[in-house]
């Protein structure tokens, strides 16, 4: 028996404001998360005991350092579960890119293993456990368009944002989240509590938000796009759209209201000898229909 092949979809941040450092060591964050169609694949199988984890594709932390393994251990502890699993991860989401791949994998591991082990846990039940694994992990138990507050772990579903076509391009060097926040600290004042997401949230609720409103505070300390990301920046300048940093970096995004713009951006990048990944946003309905294997949908 297997819990099937689960999709762990990446995210972008349509708006990302970072505030002061909190007493608990985390920064105050206000963000609008958005699911996109770029995904890792997670397969789980029952085992008599223990957690056996393998990964193909992008290099990720091994063993107990990996978020998928940590999610499995946390779920076992929370439910006093002694069952085991074999977990295989096919990694497609670029790492250290700001796309939330590790967090998506952890959240989907919670869902898949809860089903495999027949634990009494719905996605809302798993939110506290997800928050203990990472600030953005709870988002992946909601999906679609979501407001995140506090350190980003407190999530509130929003109406689906208007659809966007997206081109993802990587800079040559990855950026860890810790490093990115460290760079930004010098620009934050202790009393900084000004958050500027209201116009984005209002526009989403009213169904008329434009890509010109999207922003990311980390762009202040990231520097100019390089490599494939520089080619994307030139393409966006030529064809229109919005260039936006993905999360804390290092990937950059070209956001377009039409697929034709995205395709033209990819062509212009190719002429420069660069490449990008084409994807698009997901509604919350699409997110859940595509995340969960068909045989598991009725049990969620």
Where do the domains of the chain lie?
A: 5-158, 165-280
CA 66/CA 133 separation, integer angstroms: 11
Looking at 136, 160, 228, 286, which residue is catalytic? 136
Q: Residue 106 half-sphere exposure, CB side, CA atoms within 13 Å?
A: 29
Instruction: Compute φ and ψ for 222, nearest 5 degrees.
Output: -85, -30
Per-residue pLDDT for 42 more than 60? yes
Is 78 within 8 Å of 120 (Cβ atoms)?
no
Question: Per the structure block, which two tokens stand in for 294?
Answer: 């068909």
- Contact between 6 and 291 under an 8 Å Cβ cutoff? The reply is yes
**pLDDT at residue 262 is higher than 50:** yes
What kind of architecture, by CATH, is found in domain 165-280? 2-Layer Sandwich (3.30)
Residue 185 confidence (pLDDT): 61
Q: Report the pLDDT value the prediction gives residue 63, as an integer from 0 to 100.
A: 78
Look at residue 3 in the predicted model and tell me its pLDDT.
57
Q: What percent of the chain has pLDDT over 70?
A: 89
Assigned token pair, 279? 């994807």
What is the layout of strands, in order, in the sheet containing 242-245? 242-245, 251-256, 165-170, 277-280
Q: In a 3-state reduction of DSSP, which class is residue 74?
A: helix
Q: In whole angstroms, what is the distance from residue 165 CA to residue 280 CA?
A: 4
The predicted pLDDT at position 257 comes to: 93
**What's the half-sphere exposure (Cβ side, CA atoms, 13 Å) at 250?**
19
pLDDT reported for residue 38 = 98
At 193 the pLDDT is 46
228 versus 178: the higher-pLDDT residue is: 228
275 is catalytic: no
In whole angstroms, what is the distance from residue 232 CA to residue 235 CA?
A: 5
CATH 3.30.230.10 fits 5-158, yes or no: yes
Annotated active-site residue in 11, 83, 160, 286 = 11
Q: Hunting for tokens 């991860």 — which residue is that?
A: 89
Q: How far apart, in whole angstroms, are the C-alpha atoms of residue 67 and residue 61?
A: 8
| Percent of the chain topping pLDDT 90 | 73
Annotation says 11 is catalytic? yes
| Residue 186 confidence (pLDDT) | 59
Q: Check if 5-158 and 165-280 are the same fold.
A: no
pLDDT of residue 300: 45
Which phi and psi (to 5°) does residue 181 adopt? -65, -35
Rounded CA separation 111/126 (Å) = 8
Average pLDDT over residues 9-27: 90
Instruction: Write the pLDDT tens digit of every residue in 47-105.
Output: 999 999 999 987 777 778 899 999 999 999 999 999 999 999 999 999 889 999 999 99
211 pLDDT more than 50: yes
pTM of the entire predicted model:
0.92
Mention every residue, 6+ apart, whose C-beta is less than 8 A from residue 267.
Answer: none
pLDDT surpassing 90 at residue 8: yes
Q: What are the distances in angstroms from CA 124 to CA 105, 217, 248, 254?
A: 17, 29, 26, 32
Looking at the predicted structure, is the pLDDT value of residue 296 above 90? Answer: no
β-strand pairing of 165-170 with 277-280: antiparallel
- Collapsing DSSP states into helix, strand and coil, what is residue 149? strand
CA neighbours closer than 13 Å in the CB half-sphere of residue 180? 24
Res 299: pLDDT:
46
pLDDT digits (tens, 9 = 90+) for 98-115: 999 999 999 999 999 999
């Amino acid at each position: 028996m297997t819990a099937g092949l689960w999709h762990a979809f990446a995210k972008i941040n349509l708006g990302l404001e970072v505030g002061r450092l909190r007493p608990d060591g985390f920064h105050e964050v206000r963000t609008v998360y958005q699911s996109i169609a770029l995904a890792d694949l997670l397969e789980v199988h029952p085992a008599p005991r223990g957690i056996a984890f393998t990964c193909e594709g992008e290099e990720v932390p091994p063993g107990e350092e990996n978020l998928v393994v940590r999610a499995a251990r946390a779920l076992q502890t929370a439910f006093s579960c002694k069952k085991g699993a074999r977990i295989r991860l096919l990694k497609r989401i670029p790492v250290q890119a700001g796309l939330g791949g590790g967090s998506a994998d952890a959240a989907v591991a919670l869902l898949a293993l809860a089903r495999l082990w027949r634990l009494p846990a719905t996605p809302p039940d798993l939110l506290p456990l997800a928050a203990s694994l990472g600030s953005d992990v709870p988002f992946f138990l909601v999906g679609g368009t979501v407001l995140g507050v506090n350190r980003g772990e407190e999530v509130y579903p929003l109406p689906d944002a208007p659809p966007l076509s997206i081109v993802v391009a990587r800079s040559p060097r990855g950026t860890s989240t810790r490093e990115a926040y460290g760079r930004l600290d010098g620009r934050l004042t202790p009393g900084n509590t000004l958050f500027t997401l209201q116009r984005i949230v209002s526009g989403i609720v009213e169904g008329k938000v434009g890509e010109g409103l999207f922003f990311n505070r980390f762009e202040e300390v990231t520097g100019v796009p390089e490599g494939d990301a520089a080619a994307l920046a030139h393409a966006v300048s030529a064809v229109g759209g919005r260039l936006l940093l993905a999360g804390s970096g290092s990937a950059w995004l070209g956001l377009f209201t039409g697929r034709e713009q995205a395709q033209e951006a990819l062509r212009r990048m190719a002429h420069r000898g660069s490449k990008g990944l084409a994807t698009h946003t997901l509604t919350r309905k699409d997110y859940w229909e595509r995340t969960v294997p068909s045989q598991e949908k009725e049990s969620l």
